[in-house]
Amino acid sequence: GCRICESVCELGRIKIIKGKAVVDEVACRGCGACSAACPSGALQTRNYTDEQIMAQIREATREINEFPLVIGFLCHWCSYAAADLAGSMRLQYPTNLRNIRVLCAGRVNPSFVLEALRRGADGVLVAGCRLGECHYTIGNYCALQRMNVLSKLLVDMGFDERRLRVEWLAASEGEKFAGIVKDYVEQLKELSPIGSELK
């Protein structure tokens, strides 16, 4: 009943009734921005729950046998589609990236980024639709705001600011996606493995 989810959902699909958040599941478009904003974890997006995403992070970091390891949170509609296009075009880019698909970048909870780093990922890439072109209208703006705050927090915690990278691209930009991955991997190679910053 804190009303944070209600304020995040600009589409008005969430109402507070008798002190509890109630979602109009028929009209909800499922972006997950409310789930990422919920401080108590009370709201969960169907098929993209916190536990399901955390399980993917655990599996992606279970065996770390290359440096740098990058965990990528990619929105279904644009950045994940751009990654798929890069593969279809047979574009060459480093294999260091482990993709986790979310419906919208707005679904990326800062705790996901922190968990990936805690478990040994050397960097995290959060990628979504170009600003102003989000499938869910405001999802990537929610992600942008959260990641800006998180990047400052990471620096305060002693992490190099390059551990987190945020990018916006269209589904048709497979070459741009491949270029981003190449550039980010090269950037992370300038750093030592994440273990030195976790001590």
| Mean pLDDT on 132-151 | 94
Report the chain's mean pLDDT, rounded to a whole number: 93
pLDDT tens for 163-182 read 999 999 999 999 999 999 99
What pLDDT digit, counting tens, does each position of 67-94 carry?
999 999 999 999 999 999 999 999 999 9
Query: Can you give the pLDDT at residue 199?
Result: 66
pLDDT tens, position by position, 104-139: 999 999 999 999 999 999 999 999 999 999 988 889
Output the pTM of the full model. Answer: 0.94
Average pLDDT score over residue span 187-194: 95
Of 86, 71, 100, 99, residue with least CA distance to 165: 71
Cβ neighbour number for residue 17 with a 10 Å cutoff? 9
